[in-house]
Amino acid sequence: MPIRLARSKRIRRCKCAFCGRRHRDIHAVTSTEIPAQLVLDLGHRPALGRADFLVSDCNADAVAWVDRWPDWPSPGLVIWGPAASGKSHLGQVWRARAGAPMITSADLDEREPPDLAGEFGTVYFDGADGIAGNAHRERVALHVYNLIAERGGHILFSARTPPGRWPLTLADLQSRLNALPAVTIAPPDDAVLGAVLLKLFTDRQLQVGAEVFQFATARMERSFEAAERLVAAVDAAALASQRRVTVPLLRQVFAQIGNAGPANGHS
């Protein structure tokens, strides 16, 4: 089925099971309707949550929870999923809306809990599973969580697995994290991956037919980073050979770079 641009700016009703209401900043689309602007933080523009953010089955539940803030039933939320699935992108959307600083596991080695807890009691903890097995980090994380809870604030954790799978040694921290809502964000499905490719090709002013999208999505690593790497390689190959972007050109690029999988573990 050909992929086309959706010119309408109307907010569509979210079909996720979580809320069933209109999102303020985040729109749901179908596999054949691709927004002209996608907030995906792929190096072209930051994900600030003020423009459309593509929602599909792979991330609808996580997006609904982020959009519900500050009406969360607990002091925190865990968004988990594999590397390069978009957890950090969604975390940045929440961070911008909540005015929250971002911390990582390494920050717990150098800063005190009151500083880490943030001025307004909202914090985005990226890669939170990095504390597991480190006694000092676990103790600091527990203090940070308690401070935020006492202030009535919120902390958003992103990780590759849910807290129940983290090899934590501090029982109090384990029990608190296990009590938090934990929602998964899966690797992008065909609708999302096609939309990402469309935006990246459009940003580079490359005209691409539907057969190119179908060929690419059937063979590439299913991640946002892989999409960026693939389009950059295709752009370079098209420029060097003075050729249009076609399936034969794409086949040549895949032969050179493989499936365009991420060079590192960014999420």
pLDDT tens for 189-226 read 888 888 889 988 998 999 999 999 999 999 999 888 88
Q: How does residue 261 score in pLDDT terms, banded at 50, 70 and 90?
A: low
Residue 110 has pLDDT above 90, yes or no: yes
Please state the rounded mean pLDDT for residues 163-192.
94
Question: Are 160 and 199 contained in the same domain?
Answer: no
Residue 265 has pLDDT above 80, yes or no: no
Q: What CATH number did the domain enclosing 179 receive?
A: 3.40.50.300
Please state the rounded mean pLDDT for residues 66-79.
97
Instruction: Provide the domain count of the chain.
Output: 2
**Is residue 3, in this structure, part of any structural domain at all?**
no
- What's the whole-model pTM score? 0.69
Task: Quote the tokens at residue 18.
Answer: 């979580």
Domain boundary residue, one of 126, 158, 186:
186
Domain boundary residue, one of 160, 186, 212:
186
Question: Are 253 and 169 contained in the same domain?
Answer: no
Higher pLDDT, 51 or 21: 51
Domain boundary residue, one of 142, 167, 186:
186
Residue 42 has pLDDT above 80, yes or no: no
Q: What is the DSSP string of 180-200?
A: S-EEE-PSP-HHHHHHHHHHH
Cα–Cα distance, 80 to 88 (Å, whole number): 10
Question: Are 174 and 207 contained in the same domain?
Answer: no
Cα–Cα distance, 221 to 231 (Å, whole number): 13
**Is residue 138, in this structure, part of any structural domain at all?**
yes
**Is residue 224, in this structure, part of any structural domain at all?**
yes
Residue 145 has pLDDT above 60, yes or no: yes
Residue 44 has pLDDT above 50, yes or no: no
Question: Are 200 and 180 contained in the same domain?
Answer: no
Question: Are 132 and 247 contained in the same domain?
Answer: no
Q: What CATH number did the domain enclosing 218 receive?
A: 1.10.8
Q: What is the pLDDT of residue 263?
A: 47
Question: Are 180 and 75 contained in the same domain?
Answer: yes
Higher pLDDT, 11 or 256: 256
**Is residue 52, in this structure, part of any structural domain at all?**
no
Task: Express each pLDDT in 81-94 by its tens digit.
Answer: 988 788 888 999 99
Q: What is the DSSP string of 59-113?
A: THHHHHHHHHTT--SSSEEEEE-STTSSHHHHHHHHHHHHT--EE-GGGGGTS-H
Please state the rounded mean pLDDT for residues 231-254.
95
Cα–Cα distance, 82 to 58 (Å, whole number): 12
Question: Are 200 and 182 contained in the same domain?
Answer: no
Question: Are 103 and 180 contained in the same domain?
Answer: yes
Question: Are 241 and 144 contained in the same domain?
Answer: no
Question: Are 250 and 219 contained in the same domain?
Answer: yes
Please state the rounded mean pLDDT for residues 12-39.
35
The boundaries of the domain holding residue 248 are: 190-257
Q: Which residues contact 97 (CB under 8 A, 6 or more apart)?
A: 25, 49, 66, 69
Mean confidence (pLDDT) of the chain: 81
Question: Are 114 and 229 contained in the same domain?
Answer: no
**Is residue 1, in this structure, part of any structural domain at all?**
no
**Is residue 128, in this structure, part of any structural domain at all?**
yes
Question: Are 212 and 102 contained in the same domain?
Answer: no
Please state the rounded mean pLDDT for residues 153-162.
98
Q: What is the pLDDT of residue 48?
A: 39
Residue 7 has pLDDT above 80, yes or no: no
**Is residue 196, in this structure, part of any structural domain at all?**
yes
